[in-house]
Amino acid sequence: MKFKAFLCICMGVFSVLAVQAQEMTEDDIKARIQPVGKVHIAGAKAETASSGPRAGSDIYAKACVACHSVGVLNAPKLQNAADWSPRLEKGFDAVWKNAINGIGAMPPKGTCGDCSDDEIKAAIEHMIEGI
Ligand code: HEC
């Protein structure tokens, strides 16, 4: 007897849920999830805007490490004075410009298309730090 009553309650709950789900049209669902999506995007944008330029070490880790850690295709290695000194002889600005425009096997901006010129500069400063 008790089990039957329990079963009845369960069935009742399920049928209410089922009806509710059916009553929601596609538009209802869109309307429900839309504000959540908007809030999320707005939050992400605010975050990007307030964070400003990324740190050189972050840019290096994201875009430059693949070649500049072990010296792929003779890329000057991270914080390796022997690799960097001859290049820096032509002046930091020239080296910076080459990184932006690309030089030899080094792709423009090291393939970091969304990096600003200043972020590239910060990444180079990170690579030559302490040499
Ligand atoms: C696909 C590999 C690759 C990636 C990724 C890469 N580089 Fe390079 N980079 C090179 C190579 C190879 C050279 C040496 C080019 C030459 O002198 O012929 C080089 C040289 C440089 C130089 C020296 C330029 C000069 O005037 O001597 C700088 C500065 C530099 N890279 C910065 C960066 C920065 C900053 C990043 C990341 C945003 C980056 N690279 C990503 C391959 C890469």
Local confidence pLDDT in tens for the 131 residues of the chain: 566 665 555 565 555 555 555 666 677 656 665 655 554 545 444 444 456 899 999 999 999 999 999 999 999 999 999 999 999 999 999 999 999 999 999 999 999 999 999 999 999 999 999 99
pLDDT reported for residue 47 = 45
pTM of this structure: 0.72
Q: Name the residue ranges covered by the structural domains of the chain.
A: 2-51, 56-127
Atom number of ligand 1 nearest to Cα 87: 27
3-state DSSP call for residue 6? helix
Instruction: State whether CATH 3.40.50.20 applies to domain 56-127.
Output: no
pLDDT reported for residue 107 = 97
Q: For residue 80, what are the CA distances in angstroms to 3, 16, 92, 119? A: 77, 69, 16, 20
Q: Please tell me if the CB atom of residue 120 comes closer than 6 angstroms to any atom of ligand 1.
A: yes
Token pair 């369960």 is at which residue? 10
pLDDT reported for residue 14 = 56
